[in-house]
Amino acid sequence: MEEAGKMVDPVFGINICVNSASKHSAFFCGEFDKAWKESCLYIQKSYGLPIDYEADVVFVSCGGFPKDLNFYQSTKSMFNGVKAVKPGGTLVLFAQCSEGSGARDFFDWIKPLQEGHLDESLRKDFTIGGYIFYAACEAMRKGNILLLSSLSPDEVKDMGVDSYQDIDELMKHVDVKDKSVYIIPYGGSVMPQLKEVYDKLISELA
């Protein structure tokens, strides 16, 4: 944001922060960079979740409708949840996705992914839906991603996601015995961060 601001030489900044219910919770305005950092510090303190270690298994829910309305919206919880799982670990995402993929062009990027030129194609024809698709694929490389959803398994398998419509069947593929486990009921509203990362961000923004 600071880099973008320098391109237009701003003289005043207005930042509105929202809570988990999407209601206004804070308002920062004034000198552009200062107001921006103050808003970031507020968000970091409000939603940053310091953790001592990354877990073997993380269960994360979007928090129900409408936060899991579609897969596009549900990736917000996945992005946060994956930060709490160790490399090679297992992330279980609960997202109904009653309206399917969400963004019109989100799953359109499956074909470039299958053909091995997703990065190149997105650079040539950038879209927000394509960017979220790309970012999701990159994030999910961190571990084993399982999804409990109404989505067909075929819709997400090429992204590296194993989708199930039955919780008992899904749990057959999750080993929690003698494993460290986190449960995150509102994945879109918390940002898990290793404690040293959390403290560093607080220090940089203060």
State mean pLDDT over 10-32: 91
- What is the Cα–Cα distance from 117 to 33, expressed in whole angstroms? 37
| Predicted pLDDT of residue 87 | 97
pLDDT band for 166, please (50, 70, 90 cuts).
Answer: very high
Distance CA(10)–CA(3), nearest Å, equals 11
Q: What is the pLDDT of residues 70-123, one digit of tens each?
A: 999 999 999 999 999 999 999 999 999 999 877 778 888 989 999 999 999 999
Q: Is the pLDDT of residue 155 over 90?
A: no
Res 158 pLDDT > 90:
no
- Distance (Å, rounded) from C-alpha 173 to C-alpha 50? 28
- C-alpha dihedral, 75 to 160 to 52 to 178, nearest 10°: 130
What pLDDT does residue 135 have? 94
Q: Are 198 and 50 in contact (CB under 8 A)?
A: yes
Per cent of the chain over pLDDT 90 is 79
In DSSP terms, which residues pair with 191 in a beta bridge?
48
The pLDDT tens digits of the residues spanning 26-47 come to 999 999 999 999 999 999 999 9
Res. 1: pLDDT tops 90: no
Tell me what the pLDDT averaged over the chain comes to.
93
User: What is the per-residue pLDDT for 2?
Assistant: 80
User: Model-level pTM greater than 0.95?
Assistant: no
Going from the N-terminus, what domains does the chain have, and what CATH number goes with each? 2-47 (no CATH), 52-187 (3.90.226.30)
Query: What stretch of H or E contains 195?
Result: helix 195-205
> Residue 149: pLDDT above 90?
yes
Residue 9, pLDDT above cutoff 90: no
Mean pLDDT over 5-16 rounds to 87
What pLDDT is recorded for position 201? 95
For residue 131, what pLDDT is reported?
94
A 10 A CB-CB count for 174 gives: 14
Residue 54 confidence (pLDDT): 98
